[in-house]
């Protein structure tokens, strides 16, 4: 994939809302999903299923 080319698919990280660690990376289609992604995922530091919100990858 060429650098600088913006497509429909965007890479992003999922950050735990409790411990603020970025545990997961995923991608979403910007054309189909307008809002920010929020998923309940397992956090090994919090030791449970916690809400994870979308953030940018540095």
Angle CA 5–24–21, to nearest 5? 115
In this model, does residue 1 exceed pLDDT 60?
A: no
Which pLDDT score is estimated for 2?
54
Question: What's the pTM?
Answer: 0.80
Q: Are 24 and 13 in contact (CB under 8 A)?
A: yes
Which has more confidence, 21 or 1? 21
pLDDT per position as a tens digit, 6-57: 788 999 999 999 999 999 999 999 899 989 999 999 999 999 999 999 999 9
CB 26 within 8 A of CB 12: yes
Domain ranges of the chain: 9-55
The yes-or-no verdict on residue 5 having pLDDT over 90 is no
According to CATH, the superfamily of the domain at 9-55 is Ribosomal protein L33 (2.20.28.120)
- What's the pLDDT at 46? 96
């Amino acid at each position: 994939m060429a650098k600088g080319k913006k497509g429909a698919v965007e890479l992003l990280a999922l950050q735990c809302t409790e411990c603020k660690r970025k545990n997961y990376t995923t991608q979403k289609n910007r054309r189909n999903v307008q809002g920010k992604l929020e998923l309940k995922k397992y956090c090994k530091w919090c030791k449970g299923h916690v809400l994870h919100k979308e953030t940018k990858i540095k």
